[in-house]
Each structure stands twice: as C-alpha cells, then as structure tokens.
Structure 1
Amino acid sequence: MFRIVLKYGVIAGLIVGAALVGVSLAYDGQPPRDWGMAAGFASMLVALSAVFVGIKRHRDSAGGGVIRFWPAFGLGLAISLVASVIYVAAWELSLVLIDTDFAAMFAAQMIERAEAKGLAGDALAEAVRKAREFEAMYRNPLLRMPMTFVEIFPVGMLVSLVSALVLRNPRVLPAR
C-alpha cells in the first residue's frame, strides 16, 4: 500500500506542482483574478484524480476487487497528503523563482480591494492594518507553509471521500 500512496501521491503532486510553478512563472506570481483561482482549483481536481486511480488500483490488486469505505478513505487521504506536501514545496519554489515580494504584492491588493469597496477613514485604516499583519505573517515560512497546505488538502479530502464512496461498490468499474 505504501508504494501506491507514494506513486499516486507523487503523480498528483507533480501535476499540480507543475501547473502552479508554470502559472506562477508565466504571470510573475499574479495570474488574472477572474480565472486564476478557478484554474488553480481545476488543476487540483485534475491532479487529485490520481486519488481515485490509486484507490481503484489498490482495490483491484490487493482487495480482489473489493474495498471497504474507511480503508479506501484512508488511502485517499494518504495520497492527498503526499500530493499536498509536494504542492507546498512547489509554491515555495515558485516564490524563489518569481523573485518578487509576494507578501507585499498581496497586501497591496488587499488594500486596493478595500479602497474599491469605498472604505474610508477608520474602516480603511483597519483594512490597511490587517493587510500589513497578513504581510508580516506570510513572510514567516512556518505560517506560510501550513496556509499553502490548507489550500489543497481539503480538496484532497473531498476527492478521497467521493472516491471511497464510489469505489466501495465493487460493481463500479469492476476489476478485469
């Protein structure tokens, strides 16, 4: 089972990591807001389809075409964990490669959004204070890495849940 976790976790991690690094380099760390987040989550879903394939592979080879929900869900979470760690490493690599101050850039965007909402006076000052707090926090890798991990792992949990629910039925894509 460890081989399946590692194999499919690395496959998923490399797919989503390559997409992340590629988009980061192409747009200097700032993809267009209108589609950047949607593209990011779409790449996560595509990459995490390896969870489904890994669970099915284990069900067919080790389980003789049968797997219970909890073992399937656990296997999916383990694959997602490996993929998420690679995703975090890819983001850290992206920060080095784009060579811009991402924390300052994101804080500036937070302030721009507050101004666009029409905030002024104390409300704007509060938004600026929160943006500066975020900037300082994001510069700390011990805080940034878990934040990055939480971007992808919940998606992996959802894919693991759906995959386990679907693949516990041996009539769904039966072993050949």
Structure 2
Amino acid sequence: MKKIIWVCGIIAGIISVSWGVLSEAVIGDSLSLTTRMIFGYATMVLAFSLIFVGIKNYRDNYSNGQITFGKALGIGLLITLIASTVYVAIWMIDFAYFVPDFGEKYQAQAVAEMKAGGLSAAEIQKQSAEMAAMMTRYKTSAAFRAMFTYMEIAPVGIVMSLIAALVLKRRSEPTTVNV
C-alpha cells in the first residue's frame, strides 16, 4: 500500500506543478490571470485523478476487491499530502531561483487587467495596495508562501479524495444461507 501511495502522490505532484513551471518558462504573461488559473486547476484535477488509480489499485490488488469509505479516504488524503508537498517544494525552488519577481509580474498583470476591465482609479489603487502588502509578505516569508501554496492545491485533492472514496468504496456483501 505504501508504494501505491508514494508513487501516485509523487507523480500527481509532478503533474500538478507542470502547468505552473511550464507557463512561467514558456508562455509567460501572454495569457490572462483567469485563463492561467483555469489551466492550473485543470492540471491539478488531472493530477489528482491518480487518487482514483491509487484507491482502485489498493482495493483490487490488496484488499480482496473491498474497501471502506474511511480507508479509501485515508489513501486519497495521503496521496493528496504527498502530491501537495511535491507541488509546494517545487514551487518554493522555482520561486527562489527562477521567478523571484513573480509577485511584481503578477501585480502588474492584475493592475493591467483591472484597467482593461474598466475599474475606477480608486478601486484599482485600493486593490493594488492590498495586493502589494500581500506580495511583500509572500516574498519575505517562506512559511507564508508555503502555507499559501498548500492552500492552492490541497482543497482540490481533498475534494477528489472524497469523490473517489464515495465512488470506489465497496463492502463485502453478506452471504446468505438458504435453508
């Protein structure tokens, strides 16, 4: 069971972070923030499909075709933890060495999109100041950055774990004796 969890978790982590790393390196700022977010979350959902693979593999090969909701959820959450940790670790390295100006680029693109969206100057000023304060904390506090990054990915894995556990749970059927 441990091997299934580790393999699925590591592969899911690598898949989930692939969009972010590739989009920063190749695409840059040519897509809107909303489009980048949609692709990012779609990649996470794709990555977390490995939760279904891990639970089904365990159920069919190590548990005689049976698994409870709790056991399936536990496997899914462990895969989520490993995948999320891989995601966070790779992002922390990427941020530190390859995109240390991420916050500035993100802010500039967000402000440009707010202007294009027709927001008032006062509203843009307000949101820009809030964003600047958060980005300062994001850049200067590795713990805050890690926590924030976990909050991006972990909820997706938790939801996928719940869905997979509900879909894949299978209890043994009681045997009936005909008298």
| Structure 2 match to 1:56 | 56
For the aligned residue pairs, the C-alpha RMSD in angstroms reads 2.1
Instruction: State the alpha-carbon separation in 1 of the partners of residues 109 and 31 from structure 2.
Output: 12
CA contact (8 A) 1:24 1:94 kept: no
| Structure 1 match to 2:150 | 149
Instruction: State the alpha-carbon separation in 1 of the partners of residues 124 and 166 from structure 2.
Output: 47
Superposition TM-score, scaled by structure 2 size: 0.83
CA displacement, residues 3-45 of structure 1 (integer Å, 9 cap, x when unaligned):
22211101111222233322221124x3511531221111111
Off by >3 Å, runs of 4+ in structure 1:
96-100, 109-117
| Structure 2 match to 1:32 | 31
Go from structure 1 to structure 2 and tell me whether the alpha carbon gap of 1:23 and 1:115 turns closer, same or farther (over 3 Å shift): closer
Number of positions where the alignment pairs a residue of Structure 1 with one of Structure 2: 169
CA displacement, residues 100-123 of structure 1 (integer Å, 9 cap, x when unaligned):
5111222233433444443234x4
Percent identical residues:
33
**5+ long unaligned stretches in structure 2:** 173-179
| Structure 1 match to 2:177 | none
CA contact (8 A) 1:25 1:97 kept: no
**5+ long unaligned stretches in structure 1:** 172-176
| Structure 2 match to 1:174 | none
CA displacement, residues 83-112 of structure 1 (integer Å, 9 cap, x when unaligned):
011111222233245345111222233433
Instruction: State the alpha-carbon separation in 2 of the partners of residues 11 and 160 from structure 1.
Output: 16
CA deviation after TM superposition for structure 1 residue 62, in Å:
2.0
The aligned runs of 1:1-176 (5 Å cut-off) are 1-28=1-28, 30=29, 32-33=31-32, 35-116=35-116, 117-121=118-122, 123-139=123-139, 140-169=141-170
CA contact (8 A) 2:68 2:171 kept: no
Go from structure 1 to structure 2 and tell me whether the alpha carbon gap of 1:54 and 1:18 turns closer, same or farther (over 3 Å shift): same
Structure having the higher Rg: 2
